[in-house]
Amino acid sequence: MSVVPISTGVSTRDDQATRLRAMLGTRGADQQPMIVRPRPKLIALASGKGGVGKTYTSISLATAIADMGQRTVLVDADFGAANADIMLGLAPLRRLDECFVKGFSRGHSVGDIAIESGAGFRLIPGPVGMGRPPAAADRNRLLASYSQLHDDTDVVLMDCSAGVGPCVLDLVSAADLSVIVLTPEPTSIADAYALVKSLIRKQGPQAAETLGLVVNQTESRSEAERVHRRIAAVAHRFLGVTLPLLGRIPADKSVSRGIRAQRVAQGGKLRSSSGRSVRKAAKVVLDQIQSREQVGQAKANSADSRDSEPNRVGLELVSGR
């Protein structure tokens, strides 16, 4: 695989996620702070190239996570070829492009578009015929709109477009955890690395803290591990980051039969060998999110403690006068 090394000391840019957090946090120095509603945990699924089974993986993960008791929504954010509804045998009347065309601020919310998938989670059908990805402002509004789902949703999964375009990078950068789906094919491995490299260049090495790999269509566990070692070694050498393996999905003829019959995850059951592997990956994904949340809370508590220390000492000095 041909690679070009980049410096591990890349400075973090003012990326889309940073701007979104700033936009949600304050209105400005002369205005009152905005009331920020929490949003569900956000998982993005992406791939360097198409045809690796990303949408199937998204549907299966959503099914498995919902089966674990998490109130789950899958957003078909593949703006080039949205087809999660087709795989599920659904015929939605409203799609995500309605929010982009008519405006998020005019009463068109993602929650109104969500439909039952028949597999235990709700689906927000993707746009058809948009012609081009949404502009940066609309991507911001889409990410901000997930807070509207907080009352009845624990986890939001985004099935992003394939490739390394700005839309994909922005959505993936805003996620709490991003799952990069690839197969053992050399082209898929190379393109997955290109996606990782693009994210590191956009956000800096810390972007790797929210990334993980799922190897699809494997013949064996050892094959998945070889694929992981290959891309992880290159990422460590040239990007200075560590990429964990979140799971593998074996090649399974029942998957292609289910897709042709438009009965992927029918009834919310994942009985095949691939389905059992997805359930294991789903548990790892949820554990990763919970672990990151605990680490973040610990850092926040530590920062609060440091901030309060000077005040405490100052009070002691004053009282000792």
Q: What is the DSSP string of 11-32?
A: PPP--HHHHHHHHHH-S-TTSP
SS3 174: coil
pLDDT at 308 over 60: no
Domain ranges of the chain: 46-291
Q: Lowest-confidence range among 14-18, 66-70, 225-229, 238-242? A: 14-18
Q: In the structure, what pLDDT confidence band is assigned to residue 13 with cuts at 50, 70 and 90? A: very low
pLDDT at 220 over 50: yes
Sheet of strand 211-218, all strands in order from the earlier edge strand to the far edge: 115-116, 122-124, 72-77, 155-162, 41-47, 177-182, 211-218, 245-250
Q: Which two tokens stand for residue 273?
A: 């060998």
Q: Which two tokens stand for residue 182?
A: 């690839």
Residue 289 phi/psi, 5° resolution?
Answer: -65, -45
The CATH class that applies to domain 46-291 reads alpha beta
pTM: 0.82
Mean pLDDT of the chain: 83
For residue range 49-101, list pLDDT tens digits in order: 999 999 999 999 999 999 999 999 999 999 878 999 999 999 999 899 888 87
For residue range 100-141, list pLDDT tens digits in order: 876 666 666 788 899 999 999 999 999 887 777 888 998 998
Q: Distance between CA 21 and CA 25 in Å, rounded?
A: 6
CA distances (Å), 232 to each of 77, 83, 241, 268, in order?
27, 30, 8, 33
